[in-house]
């Protein structure tokens, strides 16, 4: 099949995204995934590419508070969305509680799947479905870790879950 005359016209679309609290306006080619937008032009390389096919979870970011494989989303389809990446969750000097828990529990080794695990874990707590360890494991199974830090990751999430549960009990009591 001769496709030579069928190259896509490389027109661009205007897209507005709020990324880590900042409103950003782009003119994007429709074939750019959210992942490649973040890792390429925006140099937000904390979001990782591990498969580009939604199989490994390394590219997980928060889109309007929900976890999402950014490799499976074309950026142009997210006009108006609010994106939080690992860089937006915390900094080395001011870490998110989940980042601190990962550090403390050694819930990573090479660190490559880690941003995706952390974004996924933060969303998981918000979803409120996972209360026990086996539920955490089930709900985190979209995030692969080849270094095998799974038990430590579950420990880290459990700790934050416990702290949050304790905090909400306190709030309810007050």
Partner 1 sequence: MLNSSKVVGLPLPRIDGPLKVTGRAPYAAEHFAPGMLQGYALCSTIATGRIAEIDTSEAERMPGVVKIYTHENRPKAARRDEKWKDEVAVPGHPLRPLENDRILYDGQPVALVVAESFEAARDAAALIRVRYEAGEPHTDLFREQANSYVPPVLRAKDMAPPSPRGNAEAAFAQAPHQISAEYSIEGEYHNPIELFGTTAIPAEDGSLMIHDKSQGSQNSHDTICKIFGLNPDKVTVRNSFVGGAFGSGLRPKHQLFFAVMAALDLKRPVKVEMSRSEMFYLTWRPSCIQTVSLAADEQGRLQSVMHHALEATSRYEDYQENVVNWSGLAYKCDNVTMSYEIAKLDVSTPGDMRAPGAATGITALEAAMDELAYEVGMDPLELRVINFVHRDQNQDKEITSKALHACYREGAARFGWSERSHEPRSMREGNELIGWGVATGIWEAQMSPAEARVSLSAEGKVVVSAAASDIGTGTYTILGQLAAETLGVALSEVAVEIGDSRLPTTSVEGGSWTAASSGTAVQVAGRMIIATLLKHARKMDNSPFAKATEDQVELSDGRLVLEANHQLGVAVSDIMGEAGLTVIEEHAKVEPDKAIQKKYSAYTHSVVFVEVRVDEELGQVRVTRVVDAVAAGRILNPKTARSQVLGGVVMGIGMALEEEGMVDHRTGRIMNHNIAEYHVPVHADIEDIEVIFVDEDDDKASPIGVKGLGEIGILGVAAAVSNAIFHATGSRIRSFPITIDKILESETMQ
Q: Which of 23, 110, 167, 169 forms a contact with partner 1 (CB under 8 A)?
A: 110
DSSP states along 19-48: ETTEEEEEEE-TT-BHHHHHHTTT--TTS-
Question: Residue 60 and residue 71: Cα distance in Å, rounded?
Answer: 8
Contact call for residue 91 and partner 1 (CB under 8 A): yes
Number of residues that bind partner 1 (CB under 8 A): 65
Q: Which two tokens stand for residue 49?
A: 């590419």
Give residues 125-154 in contact with partner 1 (rule: CB under 8 A).
Answer: 136-138, 140-154
Q: Compute the least distance from the CB of residue 164 to partner 1, in Å.
A: 18
Q: Which of 81, 151, 83 is nearest to 117 (CA)?
A: 151
The reply on whether position 7 binds partner 1 by CB under 8 A is yes
Strand 82-84, strand 66-69: pairing: unpaired
- The footprint of partner 1 on residues 28-47 (CB under 8 A) is 29, 31-32, 36, 39-40, 43-47
139 sits in which H/E element: helix 133-139
- The residues that touch partner 1, with contacts defined as CB under 8 A, are 3-4, 7, 10, 29, 31-32, 36, 39-40, 43-53, 55-56, 58, 85-87, 89-92, 95, 99-100, 102-104, 106, 108-115, 118, 136-138, 140-154
């Amino acid at each position: 099949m001769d496709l030579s005359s069928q190259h896509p016209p490389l027109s661009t679309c205007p897209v507005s995204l709020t990324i880590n609290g900042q409103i950003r306006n782009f003119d994007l080619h429709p074939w750019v995934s959210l992942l490649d937008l973040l890792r390429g032009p925006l140099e937000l390389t904390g979001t990782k590419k591990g498969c580009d096919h939604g199989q490994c979870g390394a590219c997980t970011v928060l889109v309007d508070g929900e976890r999402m494989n950014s490799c499976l989303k074309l950026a142009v389809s997210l006009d108006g969305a609010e994106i939080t990446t690992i860089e937006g969750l915390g900094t080395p000097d001011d870490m998110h509680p989940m980042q601190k828990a990962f550090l403390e529990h050694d819930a990573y080794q090479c660190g490559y799947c880690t941003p995706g695990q952390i974004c996924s874990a933060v969303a998981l707590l918000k979803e409120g479905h996972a209360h026990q360890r086996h539920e955490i494991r089930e709900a985190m199974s979209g995030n692969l870790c080849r270094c095998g830090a799974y038990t430590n990751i579950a420990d880290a999430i459990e700790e934050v879950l416990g702290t949050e549960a304790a905090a909400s009990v306190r709030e309810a009591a007050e």
